[in-house]
Amino acid sequence: MNVKDGVLFNGVRGVILRAMASIEPIMEASGEFTITSVKDGTHGPNSFHYVGCAFDLRTRHLQTPERVESVAKELRETLGNSYQVIVEKDHIHIEISPQWVALNGDPRKVA
């Protein structure tokens, strides 16, 4: 696992650390496992990034949209219902799912 310079992990939730650990085999097999954002960066006003409940993965090594979708599918299968895997223009975004929030509460409201 690699972490891009400047990425902030302070306050990252256990649920996200567990996701990072569980996807390691998939991402290493894909050719690169680089986390490009956790609590840092600029995201939507209601983003789970700000409460340590989301992270981004580099995808440029995958080269084609088809490879990105294929890896995203593997990530969804491995991560299960507690997470959402969203393919963005130049990265894959992973955050806690509505099901996780229903069970555990919305960390944006208690943070």
Tell me which residues touch Zn ion (CB under 5 A): 56, 93
CB of 47 to Zn ion, least distance (A): 7
The residue (of 30 and 58) whose beta carbon lies closer to Zn ion is 58
- Sign for the pseudo-dihedral over CA of 75, 81, 38, 42: positive
Q: State the Cα–Cα distance between residues 82 and 95, nearest whole angstrom.
A: 9
**Residue 108's Cα: distance from chain center in Å?**
17
Q: In whole angstroms, how close is the CB of 27 to Zn ion at the nearest point?
A: 15
Q: 56 or 107, CB closer to Zn ion? A: 56
- Give me the DSSP letters along 39-60: S-S---TT-GGGGT-EEEEE-G
Q: How near is the Cβ of 57 to Zn ion at its closest, in Å?
A: 9
Alpha-carbon distance of 82 to 3, in angstroms, equals 23
Please state the closest distance from residue 107 (CB atom) to Zn ion, in A.
Answer: 15
Q: Name which of 39 and 56 has its Cβ closer to Zn ion.
A: 56
Q: How many CA atoms lie within 13 A of 22 on its CB side?
A: 16
- Of the pair 30, 37, the CB lying nearest Zn ion is at 37
